[in-house]
Structure 1
Amino acid sequence: MMRGAVTAVLAVLAIQCSQGALAAEPQFKLRASVDTSATHGRTLSAADYLKKLQEKSGGRITTELFHSGQLFRDRDVVKALRQGAVEMAIPGTWVLTGFVPDADVFQLPAFFGQPYPVVYAAADGKIGEIINKQFESKLDVKLLGPWLQLGYQNTYSTNKPIRDFADQAGMKIRNSGGAGQSARAKFFNATPNVTAWPDVPLALSQGTFDGLSSTDESLASAKLWESGVKYGFADREFVGFYVPMISESFYKKLPPDLQKLVVDLWQENIEAYRKSMEEAQTEARHTLEKNGIVFVSPSESALAEVRAKMLPLQDGIAKELRISPALLQQVQADVTTVGH
Structure 2
Amino acid sequence: MPGGVARRVVLGSALAAPFVRSARAAPLVMRVSVDTPPLHGRTVSIADFLRKLEAASRGEITPLLFTGGQLFRDRDVIRALLMGQLDMAAPGTWQVAAYVPDADFTQLPMFYGQPIGVTHGAIDGIPGALVNEKVRRRLRVKVPGRWIDLGFVNWYSRQKPLASLADLRGLTIRNAGSLAQAWRARFFGAMPITMDWGDVPPALSQGVFDALQSTHESCASAGLWDAGLRYGLEDQQAVDIYIPMISESFWASLSPALKTLVTDLWAANIGRYRAAMATAQTRAAAALEAHGVTLASVPADEIGEQRRRMMAEQDKAMREMRMSPAILACVTETVSVIN
TM over 0.5: yes
What is the CA–CA distance in structure 2 between the aligned matches of 1:325 and 1:84, rounded to whole Å?
A: 33
Q: How far apart, CA to CA, are the structure 1 residues paired with 2:72 and 2:172?
A: 32
Paired with 1:59 and 1:176, the residues of 2 have a C-alpha distance of: 36
Q: 1:88 to 1:173 in 2, by over 3 A?
A: closer
3-state DSSP class of the match of 1:236?
Answer: coil
Paired residue for 1:108?
Answer: 108
Partner letter of residue 42 of structure 1? Answer: R
- 1:12 is aligned to none
User: Normalised by the size of structure 2, how large is the TM-score?
Assistant: 0.85
Go from structure 1 to structure 2 and tell me whether the alpha carbon gap of 1:25 and 1:227 turns closer, same or farther (over 3 Å shift). closer
**Contact 1:34/1:74, CA 8 A, preserved across alignment:** yes
Structure 2 match to 1:95: 95
1:74 aligned to 2:74? yes
Give the conservation status (yes or no) of the 8 Å contact 2:158–2:210.
yes
Match of 1:164 in 2: 164
Q: Confirm or deny: 8 A CA contact 1:100 1:134 kept in the other structure.
A: yes
Q: Which runs of 5+ in 2 are unaligned?
A: 1-20
Name the SS for the 2:86 alignment partner: coil
Map 1:206-225 → 2, pairs under 5 A: 206-225=206-225
- What is the match of residue 245 of structure 1? 245
- Quote how far apart the aligned CAs of 1:167 are: 3.1
Query: How much does 1:88 deviate?
Result: 1.6
C-alpha displacement of 1:209: 4.0
Q: Residues 27 and 238 from structure 1, CA distance in 2 versus in 1: closer, same or farther, beyond 3 angstroms?
A: same
Describe the superposition over 1:190-212 as per-residue Cα deviations: whole angstroms up to 9, x where unpaired: 33344554454454445454332
> Corresponding residue for 1:138?
138
Secondary structure, aligned partner of 2:151: strand
Greater helix content: 1
Structure 1 Cα separation of the partners of residues 73 and 324 of structure 2: 28
Deviation at 1:216, TM superposition (A): 1.3
CA distance 1:267–1:25, shift in 2 (3 Å): farther
Identify if the C-alpha distance between structure 1 residues 216 and 120 changes in structure 2 by more than 3 Å, giving closer, same or farther. same
Output one character per residue of 1:225-265: Cα deviation in whole Å (capped at 9) or x when no partner.
34443221111122211111112222223222221111010
Query: Match of 1:149, SS?
Result: strand
Instruction: Quote the Cα distance in structure 2 between the aligned partners of 1:198 and 1:46.
Output: 19
Comparing 66-75 with 98-107, which one deviates more in the overlay? 66-75
Instruction: Give the distance between the partners of 2:54 and 2:205, measured in 1 at CA.
Output: 46
Secondary structure of the corresponding residue to residue 238 of structure 2 = strand
Aligned to 1:314: 314
| Partner secondary structure for residue 232 of structure 1 | strand
CA contact (8 A) 2:173 2:192 kept: yes
Instruction: Provide the C-alpha distance between the structure 2 equivalents of 1:101 and 1:236, rounded to a whole number of angstroms.
Output: 22
SS in 1 for 2:232: strand
State the AA in 2 paired with 1:294: T
Amino acid corresponding to residue 114 of structure 1 in structure 2: Q
- The alignment's TM-score, normalised by the length of structure 1, stands at 0.85
Q: Distance in 1 between matches of 2:205 and 2:46?
A: 34
Deviations 1:294-334 (A, max 9, x none): 21222433322211111011111111111011101112112
**CA contact 1:25–1:60 (8 Å) conserved in 2:** no
Q: Verify the 8 A CA contact 1:110 1:331 in the aligned structure 2.
A: no
User: 1:81 is paired with a residue of what secondary structure?
Assistant: helix
Which of 198-207 and 302-311 deviates more?
198-207
State the Cα RMSD in Å.
Answer: 2.4
2:42 maps to 42
**Structure 1: distance between partners of 2:294 and 2:275:** 25
Cα–Cα, structure 1 residues 178 and 63, in superposed 2: closer, same or farther, change >3 Å? closer
CA distance 1:83–1:160, shift in 2 (3 Å): closer
Residue 156 (structure 1) shift:
1.7
Quick check: 1:110–1:336 contact (8 Å CA) kept in 2? Answer: no
Alignment CA distance shift 1:289-1:53 (3 Å): same
Once the two structures are overlaid, the 10-residue window that deviates more, 144-153 or 177-186, is 177-186
Specify the code of the residue in structure 2 equivalent to 1:33: S
Q: Tell me, yes or no, if the aligned pair for 1:30 and 1:88 is still in contact at 8 Å.
A: yes
Uncovered stretches (5+) of structure 1, i.e. residues with no partner: 1-20
Q: Percent of counterpart pairs with the same letter?
A: 48
1:331 aligns with 2:331: yes
Q: In the aligned structure 1, how far is the partner of 2:158 from the partner of 2:24?
A: 62
Contact 2:39 / 2:221 at 8 angstroms: preserved in 1? Answer: no
SS at match of 2:237: strand
Aligned residues: 319
Aligned counterparts, 1:171-182, within 5 A? 171-182=171-182
Aligned partners of 2:195 and 2:32: how far apart in 1?
Answer: 29
Q: Secondary structure at the match of 1:72?
A: coil
Tell me the equivalent position of 2:129. 129
Larger Rg: 1
In structure 1, C-alpha distance between the alignment counterparts of 2:59 and 2:206, rounded to whole Å: 53
Q: Distance in 2 between matches of 1:193 and 1:73?
A: 18
Residues 88/194 of structure 1: CA separation in 2 closer, same or farther (3 Å cut): closer
